[in-house]
A and B are shown apart, each in its own frame.
Chain A
Amino acid sequence: MSTDSATQGLSDLDTGPGRLSHRLDTVELAASTPDDEQPFAELGLEADEYARIRDILGRRPTTAELAMYSVMWSEHCSYKSSKVHLRRFGDLPPSDALLVGIGENAGVVDVGDGYAVTFKVESHNHPSYVEPYQGAATGVGGIVRDILTMGARPVAVMDSLRFGRADAPDTARVLPGVVAGVGGYGNCLGLPNIGGELLFDDCYVGNPLVNALCVGVMRHEDVRLAKAEGVGNKVILFGARTGGDGIGGVSVLASETFDAEGPAKRPSVQVGDPFTEKLLIEACLEIFAADLVTGIQDLGGAGLSCATSELASAGTGGMHVDLDTVPLRDSTLTPAEILMSESQERMCAIVEPDKVDAFLAVCRKWDVLATVIGEVTDGDRLTVDWHGERIVDVPPRTVAHEGPVYERPMARPADLDALQADDPAALPRPQTPEELTAHWLAVVASPDGADKSWVTEQYDRYVRGNTVLAQPDDAGVVRIDEQTHRGIALALDGNGRYARLDPYTGAQLNLAEAYRNVAVSGARPLAVTNCLNFGSPEEPEVMWQFAETVRGLADACRTLGLPVTGGNVSLYNQTGDVPINPTPVIGVLGVHEDVRRRVPTGWRTAGETVLLLGETKPEFGGSAWASVVHGHLGGRPPAVDLEAERALGELLAALSRQGLVGSAHDLADGGLAQALAESALRYGVGARLGLSGDPFPALFSESAARAVVTTSDPEAVRTAAEAAGVTVTELGTTGGDVLAVEGVGELPLAGLRAAWSATLPALFGSPEATVGRVPAGTVPTS
């Protein structure tokens, strides 16, 4: 029995003891019983939204129609609060690189040589809080299907994770499950995990962020779109059977704020089966190759309601579905529940009648269940029958694309002036070499700065054999052609502290960081995706943060000439009246003409000159130092200089092309202190360095548009940098097993590594310790 209110409401209507008991709620019945009360509020609809549905239909909706509208008009599916702001991305100047823009399942970018790449990042925050393993697993599954739907072979995934304070009890519950879920699903699917983020902050207690990215590759001519065209073409549902999992996931889970007293929402979380998804991927790619579909859509949030209405709405408009033909896992499901179910690993295809047999044969080969459930019709109605009786008769556009749009009130947060005035310049700074090294170690060993192997060792980064760089490198780099060595680079970044202090600047800094991370690998940045994680849109201060973020991001994309290819919005990330820090997670895709020229982040060779590119200013607002050492968040984030970012990016690409640098590492959270430690620890090669002037800002400032490179030809790098207008500062030489900084001290790499790598195992358990406890000689009892 489900205790979920949405399910309860529907069950009562269709089969429960109410007035409509044991009677199917048909269109005919709805027309003759206009005054029957309906549980629209339990389904997440507002009174005026319900009134609008009645207006559109000229009668009350049937139970099944109400179910469809409720999920499709949810915040998650309709973007009703964010739409008016997101238009800024669509208003960016057209880009030659963009083959398919915003509006499809994912944008498609031309990466040269006839290759197209599609990538997107999506949130699965609320389900991951309720049921960490399945929530995270199905987050990966969902984004992979979005990429597959475009006609592409998925080739890699990334994950951007945020949890409450690392030692908070709930973090110990949520984090291990989320990591195991991301790994369990992605590993079983055969997709390398090439990077991401893991960050902790008090504001994510009760609101973890689980954002998953997938990237896929195809040839230009293979791009597929989600539309139902051609009267008489068949609608085929294929993949897993439909069950009772995930009913109302988008409306009940993703579009509401949790409160402590509410019922457990676990029944609204879907359950994943990566094995079925792997078969689905291979079957789809074979189906695409044989040109057997005219349109395709995956079933994710809002399930069949979404797939059928979106396909029909984007096509010629008419579709008929016989819902009783849908294969079920649970034969007691009501029609409304079938329409709302978010059972995973399902796809919906539009197939010409003479290709149906070939389509079904491919599915049989891969043991994928496939069923013809309807066909494309003339006219402009989406109709659904249940055992011959009509239960849905709606204009599909009103369900899929013409949902409510809100201009929510906005207000600059009342505490923002005080927050910005609380300048970290006033914080006590380390004075002695001992204090400087102590702060350095504290930043590097903090949960945000620490070694992430505890997480990433649970992910397969090798499968498919094309992973050129993966975490802990700044960007993931994947080869897409073994003959030409063409490849792509991807980075995901989203600093919520900067965005809290100034959402406009914070969004731009996050974009700049992802751009820089792609550039240090030697790639040319090409396109942007985003996942915008915010509190409740019903709070004017959150709405202001959201609007500022979109404005900042759109302005920066315009300056850098990068198109936004799509994205995802996750609202209602708040507990009670405390929203999370605004957290725009930005993904940047770059292209490598030759991945053999990729630049790793770690120092590999002794005797190379270490150079700092870019200018360091005393900027500590939102910095890791202020947060780790003083628990402080205030002031203004570092200044943004997009022209400087562009100059640095172009310089790094040129240095990579000419083979002039042995390593390159972007400077971001933790500034130079963090970057030096990571570069040295990667391969265990130290350095002797000198910092001119005050070592404190040199180490801990988070000024943007900076990178550290190593080279065996410093003069050539200096010449190239000067020509590009990028400031160069020589820091010293690589080599040895200590990180030695004049006037600061010597950090032996062994000690640094011990501190850096001990943090996460100490918090979440050490696998080594468990191995040690396995009794020798134990025999499985079968």
Chain B
Amino acid sequence: MRIGVITFPGSLDDVDAVRAVRLAGAESVPLWHAEHDLEGVDAVVLPGGFSYGDYLRAGAIAARAPIMQDVVDRARQGMPVLGICNGFQVLCEAGLLPGALTRNGHLHFRNRDQALRIERADTAWTHDYATGQRIVVPVKNGEGRYVAAPADLDRIEGEGRVVVRYVDGNPNGSMRDIAGVTSEDGRVVGLMPHPEHAVEDLTGPSTDGLGFFTSVVTAMVAA
């Protein structure tokens, strides 16, 4: 089981994603934004950070990186892709996920330990959770407010594509408390909170985040 972690200029949590992949029992493969080579990986993680300094719009420039064409092509064939924070922004900008992430309602960068509810436990990245399960992982962003047109929100909700929702407080003003969404086939997942920062008791508020990474390993082994 090989999981690629893409580094864009300005990616920051790539080392954390690599660690989480390793702790989940998979081999991590570093991928470089400027290449057209996914090195035959089974799944891809787009890590958090400030790719291209969040200049223009968060994720907008990275979404047009050479490697993203390959990610989009493979994702449409069912390769699991996880976008965390900036990675979620990139996936929205690349058209793989619906909606957009905008400046937090309160205009501050916000880092806190955040309670989430798992709304879908049948995606490639959430198999190891139970629907309705409450988890606590860090959230940290300045542009994490999930928005979409009301009709689109209704459709996304109707199709069951909300994967995780903020509970006990919404840290950034996201519409309908949406913290993460998935593609129609449940293979591509993007979320603003950082499961890769909650994989060890020593350094995280919990180990609740590890499930995202073990889920994809289980899913791939089962497939």
Q: Which residues of A contact B (CB under 8 A)?
A: 180, 183-184, 187-190, 273-276, 278-279, 366-367, 453, 456-468, 479, 482, 595-596, 767-768, 770-771, 773-774, 776-780
Contacts and interface: CB of A to CB of B under 8 A. Distances in A.
B10 A464 contact: no
29 contacts: A180-B108, A184-B109, A187-B109, A187-B142, A188-B12, A274-B50, A275-B10, A275-B50, A275-B53, A278-B10, A279-B9, A367-B9, A457-B112, A458-B111, A460-B111, A462-B111, A462-B204, A463-B12, A463-B16, A464-B12, A465-B199, A467-B203, A770-B105, A770-B106, A771-B105, A773-B105, A774-B173, A780-B100, A780-B147
Contacts of B148: 779
Contacts of A776: 175
B197 interface: yes
A466 B204 CA distance: 9
B10 A462 contact: no
Contacts of A596: 202
Contacts of B140: 187, 460, 462-463
Contact of A188 (B54, B100, B145, B169): B54
A512 B15 CA distance: 36
B112 to A, nearest CB: 6
B93 to A, nearest CB: 12
B53 A771 contact: no
A767 B50 contact: no
Contacts of B13: 190, 463, 465
A464 B14 CA distance: 8
Nearest to A769: B106
Contacts of B15: 464-465
A776 B48 CA distance: 27
A10 B17 CA distance: 51
Contacts of B100: 780
Nearest to B14: A190
Contacts of B12: 188-190, 278, 463-464
Contact of A768 (B9, B106, B197): B106
A188 B150 CA distance: 32
A780 B105 contact: no
A466 B50 contact: no
Interface of B: 9-10, 12-13, 15-16, 19, 48-50, 52-55, 100, 102, 104-112, 138, 140, 142, 145, 147-150, 169-170, 172-173, 175, 194, 196-197, 199-200, 202-204
B197 A458 contact: no
Nearest to B54: A188
Contacts of B9: 275, 278-279, 366-367
A770 to B, nearest CB: 4
A465 B16 contact: yes
Nearest to B205: A462
A460 B112 CA distance: 9
A779 B147 contact: yes
A479 B106 contact: no
Nearest to B50: A188
Given A273-B53, A275-B50, A595 B202 contact: yes
A274 B142 CA distance: 15
Q: Sort A-B residue pairs by CB-CB distance and give the 6 closest, nearest first.
A: A275-B53, A190-B12, A767-B106, A770-B106, A774-B105, A462-B197
Contacts of A466: 203
Contacts of A768: 106, 169
Contacts of A189: 12
Contacts of B102: 780
B212 to A, nearest CB: 15
Nearest to B113: A462
Contacts of B111: 456-462
Given A278-B50, A779-B150, 7 more contacts: A188-B10, A273-B53, A275-B10, A462-B138, A463-B48, A465-B199, A767-B108
A596 B54 CA distance: 36
Given A366-B9, A779-B147, A275 B108 contact: no
Contacts of B49: 190
Contacts of B170: 771
Contacts of B200: 465
B64 to A, nearest CB: 15
Max chain B Cβ within 10 angstroms of own Cβ: one of A184, A274, A453, A465: A465
A458 B110 contact: yes
B11 to A, nearest CB: 8
B63 to A, nearest CB: 15
A456 B175 CA distance: 25
A465 B196 contact: yes
A212 B64 CA distance: 36
Nearest to A596: B202
A459 B108 CA distance: 10
B46 to A, nearest CB: 15
Contact of A479 (B50, B173, B203): B203
Max chain B Cβ within 10 angstroms of own Cβ: one of A189, A463, A468: A463
A479 B15 CA distance: 14
B52 A183 contact: no
Contacts of B145: 774
B129 to A, nearest CB: 21
Contacts of B16: 462-465
Contact of B150 (A184, A459, A464, A777): A777
B99 to A, nearest CB: 10
Contacts of A367: 9
Contacts of A770: 105-107
Nearest to A777: B150
Nearest to A462: B197
Nearest to A770: B106
A770 B173 CA distance: 9
Nearest to A188: B50
A387 to B, nearest CB: 34
Contacts of A773: 105
B14 to A, nearest CB: 9
A187 B105 CA distance: 19
A457 B203 contact: no
Contacts of A183: 109
Nearest to B101: A780
Given A190-B12, A462-B194, A779 B109 contact: no
A466 B199 CA distance: 11
A367 B55 CA distance: 15
Nearest to A368: B9
Given A274-B53, A462-B140, A767 B10 contact: no
Nearest to B169: A768
Contacts of B172: 771
A278 B197 CA distance: 20
B138 to A, nearest CB: 5
Contacts of B55: 275
Max chain B Cβ within 10 angstroms of own Cβ: one of A366, A460, A770: A460
